[in-house]
Amino acid sequence: MKKIILTALVLFLTACSPVKPWERGNLALPQMALEGDAQEANFRQHTFFSKESSSGGYGGHGGGCGCN
């Protein structure tokens, strides 16, 4: 199992085309940020967490609340 995961990881990493440091301008643009607005992301996740059963996957704090 370990071998399969490692092989898959190596294949995945080598399949990605090399990106030189000076080619990363596009990735650094604000519209490309995975989490461009941490406060809003926290508010949205907190809201959906208190209205739906699913949670997790995103980062954020670990605290609970009595939200209903």
Partner 1 sequence: MSLIERLSLAALALPGLLVGGEAQAGRAEELYHADFQYAHYEESKGRMKVDVFELSAVAPIGDKITASVDLVRDTISGASPILNIKNSDGKVEQYLSGASIFEQRDALAVGLSYAFDDVNVSFGGGVSGEHDYLSRHLNTGASWTFNKKLTTLSFTASVAFDEITPTGQSDVKNSKTSQKYLMGITQVINKNSLLQSNMTFAYHKGYLSDPYKAVYVEGVGLEDDSRPRHKFQWAWLTRYVHYFKTLNKAALHADYRLYVDDWGINGHTLELSWHQPIADDWLIIPRFRYYTQNEANFYQATFDAMDIGDIHSSDYRLTGFGTLGVGLKLTKSFHMAGYIKEVKLQMAADYNDRKASYQIGGNDEGSFDDFSFYMITASINMRF
> Among 2, 4, 5, 64, which residue sits at the site for partner 1 (rule: CB under 8 A)?
64
Q: Return d(Cα 41, Cα 33) in angstroms, integer.
A: 12
The nearest distance, CB 3 to partner 1, in angstroms, is 18
Give the amino acid at 7.
T
Residues 6+ apart with CB under 8 A from 59: 35
The reply on whether position 37 binds partner 1 by CB under 8 A is yes
57 binds partner 1 (CB under 8 A): yes
Distance of CA 63 to the CA centre of its chain: 19
Which residues are near partner 1 by CB under 8 A? 12-13, 16-19, 21-40, 42-44, 47-48, 51-68
